[in-house]
Structure 1
Amino acid sequence: MVHFPGGKRPKICLTRRWPEAVEARLRVSYDVTPNETDIPLDPAQLAEAIRTHDALCPTVADAITREMLSAPDRRVRIIGNFGVGFEHIDLAAAREFGVAVSNTPDVLTEATADIAMTLMLMAMRRAGEAERALRSGKWGGWGPTNFLGQSLAGKTLGLVGFGRIARATARRAGAFGMRIAYHSRREAPDMPPHAYFADLGALAAEADVLSLHAPGGAETRHMVDAALLARMPAHAVLVNTGRGSLVDEAALALALKERRIAAAGLDVYEAEPEVHPALLDLPNAVLLPHLGSATIETRTAMGMKVADNLDRFFAGEPLLDPVG
């Protein structure tokens, strides 16, 4: 048990259910309010939690606004975010009103890179399309030209963003015999012989697979738009395990429908849990329900990181993973 100044157990709200081991740890030291329904809270429920709890522990699905944080009867003093991305939290308002924010870096790198490779393989080899044909009874048996896809070996993987997850993806792709190129704000001198592209459009024109790993926010919103998609080769594949806001989904759906690019593999969406309806019926779109960090090991580690940050905050110590 963690002992806090004053001896009072802080009251914390979990906006979704967390792995059992994490919830059990939290209950030892905190008065925990879990979301028993495991359905995302609406804005009114989030605002109420901010007024009645010392800590709010949201996910990427929970928009924490200035209006919520500026409430005169706000009780929350820390937002322990369950995830790395924090564009759903108004950080400027959190700073202004003295609300600390933490996140969970490092622990979901490998699991998310695994999903990037999963999407890459599924899209390149038409695995989703082929499985649907088999399950529907439309598979007529093996044939020399059935479901012909593309090999990863010898292809160029273009990484947009070159942080931890992109680098982990690069390691995996290298084992498949892919060449690695990347675009980021600055060149990474520690990563030769990977090719650096200062211009995103130039990378899109060269890549056989374009994999998105950039952060969300206004600066990167719709960085993959109709103009960028037009730069991609007709055989190219787009993969997104970064943020849904990076892609203009309407433009992507049209490019896929008209076969101006070969396929796309998506794990994140602009208006989650909604998916652009034009994507749903496209055979060359591989769609996963935000599985990037969805392993028992990773989600447990994420929750434990939140718990570590809460322990330090309520003990009056610096956060391990401060944001903003």
Structure 2
Amino acid sequence: MDSSGRRFKVVVCRNLGPDVMSILEARPELDLVVWPQDSACERSWLMENISGATGVIVMLTDKVNAELLDKAGPSLKVVSTMSVGYEHIDLKEAAQRGLKVGYTPDVLTDAVADLSVMLALMAGRNGGTGVDLVQRGQWGTFSWAPFGLCGPQLSTTAASPTRKIGFLGFGRIAQATLARLVPFGITHCLYSSNPSSLPNHARDAALAKQHKLQAVSKVDIDELSRESDVLFVLAPGGGETYHIVNETLLRKMKRTSILVNASRGTLVDSDALAKALREGWIWGAGLDVVEGEPNVTIDHPLVKEPRCVIVPHIASATLETRLEMATRAAQNLIGAILGWEMPSQVNLSHVS
């Protein structure tokens, strides 16, 4: 409540579960308006209820644009999203209106790293094809062959003692993924990041020593594509990285290489990747995200490729991670409204 005893209207676009809703409900200053269904919030409901709100908690599916902000009016102080990405929020509009924007970085690092390794293994070892074979009841009719359902091994062997793992983007999630891959015996880590950022030789040398690798090296994207046995796409979305994985890059990769994307679907040209798989430029792909999702039907070119393993954007889908994300979203909102520090606030100072 403010000095006059007025409560602050807060719109919540999805029930965050008893553990987190109780945090919001415990604040007498807040007057909660919660989307009542166990489904994505309908735009019409949000537009109807946002007027006069001081804060709103949104999901990735809720578009925060000028239309919504105009409807909210000058009372709106904070937009808090239960996500690490904020492409669904018009940051320019938020900055111009003096809004605070909260998000949930870092808390999903381990979950995304876990899934990235899972996708690499599934794609390399024909996991999608194998699961489909069993689920369609065709295991018994499958004709075993000495090299049937074989794929490139992630771990090193006596015959193949070198494994080079590549990262497009080398932030927290990439480095957590690297740590998980060390027991497989990888020997080299290559990465390509923002061209404007200088190589961090001291950090790279420390990582190589920590993980007992022959080298951790920043390289250009051409070398990254040529040398990586597995290439993990873990870079931010946006115009600068749109379709950065395209036909040119894919043609440079090894025929036994694996592509994994657990960041944003827009980084990978789906048609080019489907062509690469169909024509055997690379071995396989593991995707948590696809451009245009969730409109990915059985007719999608990547769904038709047997060596492409696709899961429906579940990288953060562990009970522990989602609880922490929801808690952070609630804490961000409360902090902004009550004048406390927000645990995770998007820096809008550079947005114009």
TM-score normalised over the length of structure 2: 0.85
Once the 2 structures are TM-superposed, how far is the Cα of residue 83 of structure 1 from its aligned partner?
1.0
1:301 equivalent in alignment to 2:299: no
State which of 151, 165, 187 in structure 2 corresponds to 1:157. 165
- 1:163-219 deviation line (CA, Å, top 9, x unaligned): 111110010011211232111123233122343234112201111111011011111
**Bigger CA radius of gyration:** 2
Alignment of 1:99-178 (within 5 A): 99-139=99-139, 140=142, 143-154=145-156, 155-178=163-186
Residues 1:12 and 2:10 aligned together? yes
Q: 2:296 aligns with which of 239, 260, 275?
A: 275
Q: Which moved more, 1:184-193 or 1:70-79?
A: 70-79
Name the CA distance, whole Å, in 2 between partners of 1:256 and 1:17.
40
CA–CA distance in 1 between the matches of 2:254 and 2:246?
Answer: 15
Q: How does 1:13-162 map to 2 (within 5 A)?
A: 13-29=11-27, 30-71=30-71, 73=73, 75-139=75-139, 140=142, 143-154=145-156, 155-162=163-170
Report the alpha carbon displacement of residue 49 of structure 1 after superposing the two structures with TM: 4.1
Q: 2: distance between equivalents of 1:248 and 1:42?
A: 30
Deviation at 1:141, TM superposition (A): 7.0
Deviation at 1:99? 1.4
Q: What CA distance in whole angstroms lies between the structure 2 residues aligned with 1:317 and 1:58?
A: 20
Per-residue deviation at 1:265? 0.6
Q: Return 5+ residue gaps in structure 2 as ranges.
A: 157-162, 209-214
Mean CA deviation greater in 44-53 or 160-169: 44-53
In the superposition, relative to structure 1, how do residues 35 and 137 fare at CA in structure 2: closer, same or farther (>3 Å)?
same
Counterpart for residue 160 of structure 2: none
Aligned 8 A contact 1:211 1:240 in 2: yes
Q: Does 1:184 align with 2:197?
A: no
User: How far does residue 282 in structure 1 lie from its aligned partner after superposition?
Assistant: 1.5
Consecutive unaligned residues in structure 1, runs of 5 or more? none
Which residue number corresponds to residue 207 of structure 1?
Answer: 228
What is the distance in 2 between the residues matched to 1:108 and 1:182? 21
Deviation at 1:52, TM superposition (A): 4.4
The residue identity in structure 1 corresponding to 2:243 is H
Displacement of 1:286 after TM fit? 0.4
**CA-atom RMSD in angstroms:** 2.1
Matched, 1:229 2:253: no
Partner of 1:263: 284
Cα 1:71–1:311 shift into 2, 3 Å: closer
Looking at structure 2, the residues matched to 121 and 299 of structure 1 have their Cα atoms a distance apart, in angstroms, of 24
1:252, 1:47 → 2: CA distance? 38
CA contact (8 A) 1:157 1:181 kept: yes
Deviation, 1:246, is 0.8
Task: Give percent identity, aligned residues only.
Answer: 36
Aligned length: 322
